[in-house]
Amino acid sequence: MISLTFLWKNGINVADIFPNREKKERNKQMKKIAVFFGEGYEEIEALTVVDICRRCGLEVSMISITEEGMVRGSHGINVQMDRTFSEAEFETYDMLVLPGGMPGTKNLEAHEELMAQVDAFYAAGKYIGAICAAPSIFGHRGILKGRNACSYPSFESHLEGAEVTAGPVEISDHVVTSRGMGTAIDFALAIAGIFCGEEKAAEMAESIVYGGNRKR
């Protein structure tokens, strides 16, 4: 067996001897987020989470809820997915994210297997997030009872049992909600803050010249 003390005294980097060791350790610690895409998703809400969280070093998978590798957004933008729903390894994810948009939100809610996973994550105390119209899905499933939550204004009546706020994002234990396209950066930074720390999220906000949502 090679002594780590020997390596250190002789100025030898462990990574040079075991090149995959450091990578495996990073991968083991890297948090994984799954963002789900149904036909008619809101492009900015979905892709802002993917972009910012990847910049922060999180592993983010774009997952089609069908077996199609390309999914069309509500404004005609086609995006190539990382994997289809049947390829998703749910036990490896730390958070599930549901973007808004129409009919994307309805398509997500109609997907029974996805809804079962949302319920399972919630029951296990694992993070779930939704933005714009998608928090209505949480409301319909009884997830928001007794929690602060927010959504697109016309969907606030669907946040059943919640204390509805007008904030750009609400984090209530392991449930994260946000209002819409205009708060997508806040939503993404909130997720980054959960897994990477507030300091990293603040650094990211500064690096993209983001000043935050102004009060209206």
Query: What's the domain count of the chain?
Result: 1
Could you give the angle at which helices 43-55 and 184-196 cross, rounded to 10 degrees?
Answer: 30
191 closest CA partner among 179, 207, 174: 174
149 beta partners: 164
Task: Say if 187 falls within a structural domain.
Answer: yes
pTM: 0.85
- The phi-psi region of residue 142 (left if phi > 0; otherwise alpha if psi is between -120 and 50; otherwise beta) is left
Task: Say if 212 falls within a structural domain.
Answer: no
Give the SS3 label for residue 62: strand
Which residues have C-beta within 8 Å of that of residue 102, sequence separation ≥ 6?
A: 40, 74, 133
The pLDDT of residue 11 is 52
Profile the chain (216 residues) by mean pLDDT over runs of 10 residues: 45 47 50 98 99 98 96 98 97 98 98 99 99 99 98 98 97 98 98 97 96 62
Query: Which residue range(s) make up the domain with 26?
Result: 19-131+183-207
Task: Say if 168 falls within a structural domain.
Answer: no
Task: Say if 175 falls within a structural domain.
Answer: no
CATH number of the domain within which 32 lies: 3.40.50.880
Q: In Å, what is the CA distance from 108 to each residue of 116, 151, 197?
A: 11, 16, 29
Task: Say if 118 falls within a structural domain.
Answer: yes
Q: For the CA atoms of the chain, what is the radius of gyration? A: 19
The pLDDT of residue 104 is 98
- The two beta strands, 78-80 and 70-72, are antiparallel
